[in-house]
Structure 1
Amino acid sequence: MSPCTVPQVRFHNGVDIPQLGLGVAAIPENDAETVVRQAIDAGYRHIDTATRYGNERGVGLGISGSGVPREEVFITTKLWVEDFRDVARAFTRSLEALGTDYVDLFLIHWPAPDHGQYVTAWQQVVQLYLSGAIRAIGVSNFEPEHVHAIVDETGVLPVVNQVELHPYFQQRELRQFNAEREIVTEAWSPLAQGIGTEEGSPLTALAAKHNKTTAQLILRWHIELGHVVIPKTCSPHRLTENLQIFDFSLSPEDFDVFTQLDSPEGRLGTHPNEGFSAHHSARSRWHRDKPTRRAA
């Protein structure tokens, strides 16, 4: 499949990102090379990894072994909390693992406000961007107060905020905050880990109307809202299936179905202001209760 099938979203610094990519969180290092190569063969040109995932080397090998020129593949990686004190060193490690001399997008993975270091980390990220080794810089899991803090200190807006976002946790206020600042919203866990795909669910019925899978329906919803999405899969079949979402569209009535699914209790992961150990408790609770300078 041609990579031009996937539309591009333009960041406020002029860099384009494919709107659909492959997320590789929790894919083991030994499997990442194969999965990434299969994804590129299927037509993907956007791979999202992170130091925290422990698979940057596999991702790099998958890209270099694909036969596709490096400049045609958009690579995102992320800075973890433990590396906030020396961002340049962590970034160099990521470059070495990925086997490249630049990345397209570099994100602060988590604000970890209790550590009190994300603002100084952002200052270092900005300096790396200005050095030319990164095409665009952004954040992940940042609430508005975190964005305000880094912009107040540096005057530099992130191009993207990658957050948990799916039909059951739609983050409307945060998306509006991002949009007002021309910050692209990128969705991790865009498919809500498969929740709501059981027979008879509202989304399953709606997907059947479009002759699509529930996953394809949800990804289409994200695309029409303008989100960048990075669904994870190790299945060659689903890699291809997830790309087959550009031949149909949703009606206003379809969007109404999605609107009714949103819940403040829909978060599956940890709140950005909570400790990392809170992830499982947060997920269990939901199952139970069901004008600033830009980086230019």
Structure 2
Amino acid sequence: MNAIQIPKVTSHDGLTLPTIGFGTYKLKGNAGADAIARAIGNGYSLLDSAFNYENEGTIGQGIRAAGRERSGITVTSKLPGRHHDYEEALATIEESVFRTGLGHIDLYLIHWPNPKVDKYVEAWKALIAAKERGIIRAIGVSNFLPEHIDRLESETGVLPAVNQIELHPYFPQVEAVDFHRSRGIITQAWSPIGRGNEVLTEPVVAELAAKYGVDAAGIVLAWHVARRVVALPKAGSDEHQISNLNAATIALKNDEVDAITALGKPDGRNKGQDPATYEEF
């Protein structure tokens, strides 16, 4: 196992997560379970999945194959938009737990708010109930805007522990990160290195990679760690898995962090998925 000490962040309600986790999107079947088992062996303790990824069973198999204590692994999954009705949400959460075969899921998120449908508060109430039953241990959201989060708290009295959002140097989400920090909400970054964009070829990233003797992806991940954001990169090979974790040892200076943040664009989203209007089911 990789002995790197990954910095951690803690939410308002005591949830503690490492600042580098492991994304599992598109990891399925035996090959996916093998990649997950190796990731655990290489030192990852946070695994990110979703009902819509159709790989919750693969997550469970990967953990069993790794032979690690279940208590040392944080498994995340997410509720799809088509199941925001309260009873459907509860059944979907139960199904997620059944798929993993792990007895419980550590962190469960609402995948998207789907504001046009406007049932995300109902879905949130289902997550609260599932947590009270003990089948999930912590609850949060994904792709929620501050106004969505404020509404959850005002109508239920329960604030999410996590908000997982698109976040990378072209879309640094400065205001969202500041909002989360002010409320004790952990920010997680999906697509943390960008997906199909040119961020890894930016001169400032390349210069810092040369300075610190790492690849460009390592610099971008170090930028996340410096901002106390939980990055969720995906990597199949042992080499990439380990190099991503090693990014946690790079201590970027404040001006270097600022230089990367300055790469942000007015709307740097990869696919224009604005949570104010985007719907995913």
Q: Report the TM-score when normalising by structure 2.
A: 0.93
Q: CA 1:52–1:3 in 2, change beyond 3 Å: closer, same or farther?
A: farther
Contact 1:31 1:58 in 2 (8 A): no
- Report how far residue 268 of structure 1 moved: 1.0
Counterpart residue identity of residue 196, structure 1: V
- Contact 2:112–2:279 (CA under 8 A) maintained in structure 1: no
2:16 paired residue number: 16
Query: Aligned partners of 2:145, 2:33: CA distance in 1, in Å?
Result: 33
In 2, the alpha carbon distance for the partners of 1:206 and 1:18 equals: 23
Structure 1 residues 4 and 70: CA distance shift in structure 2, 3 A: farther
5+ long unaligned stretches in structure 2: none
Q: Which residue matches 1:243?
A: 245
Q: 1-side partners of 2:257 and 2:267: how far apart? A: 20
Question: Corresponding residue for 1:215?
Answer: 217
Aligned counterparts of 1:4 and 1:105: Cα–Cα separation in 2: 23
> What is the Cα-based RMSD across aligned positions, in Å?
1.6
- After the TM superposition, which residues 85-96 of structure 1 pair with which residues of structure 2 at under 5 Å, given as runs? 85=85, 86-96=88-98
Deviation, 1:229, is 1.1
Give 3-state SS (helix, strand or coil) of 1:192's partner: coil
- 2:232 & 2:106 partners in 1: Cα distance? 15
- What amino acid maps onto 1:275 in structure 2? Y
Q: Does 2:172 align with 1:166?
A: no
How far apart, CA to CA, are the structure 2 residues paired with 1:275 and 1:161? 16
Q: How many residues end up aligned between the 2 structures?
A: 276
What does residue 32 of structure 2 align with? 32
Partner of 2:263: 261
C-alpha deviations, 1:179-226, integer Å up to 9, x for none?
11111111111101263223x632112211111111101111100110
CA distances 1:31-52 after superposition (whole Å, capped 9, x unpaired): 3211101101111111000001
Match of 1:71 in 2: 71
Partners of 2:30 and 2:113 in 1: how far apart? Answer: 29
**Could you tell me how far apart the structure 1 residues matched to 2:225 and 2:22 are?**
14
Identity of aligned residues (%): 37
- AA aligned to 2:96 is S
Q: Is the 8 A contact 1:3 1:44 kept in 2?
A: no
| In 1: Cα distance, 2:30 partner to 2:66 partner | 16
- For normalisation by structure 1, the TM-score amounts to 0.89
Bigger relative contact order, structure 1 or 2, given CA contacts below 8 A and separation 6+? Answer: 2
**Distance of 2:143 and 2:248 partners within structure 1:** 28
Preserved contact between residue 162 and residue 185 of structure 1 (Cα < 8 Å): yes
Q: Distance in 2 between matches of 1:124 and 1:101?
A: 18
Stretches of structure 1 that go unaligned for 5 or more consecutive residues are 278-296
In the alignment, which residue of structure 2 is the partner of 1:273? 276
- Residue 119 (structure 1) aligned to one of 103, 121, 136: 121
Q: Alpha-carbon deviation of 1:160? A: 0.7
Is the CA contact (8 Å cut-off) linking 2:20 and 2:232 kept in structure 1?
Answer: yes
Query: Where does residue 151 of structure 1 map in the other structure?
Result: 153
Worse-superposed segment, 159-168 or 24-33 = 24-33
| Deviation digits for residues 235-271 of structure 1 (CA, Å, limit 9, x no counterpart) | 2210111011233311233123213201122111311
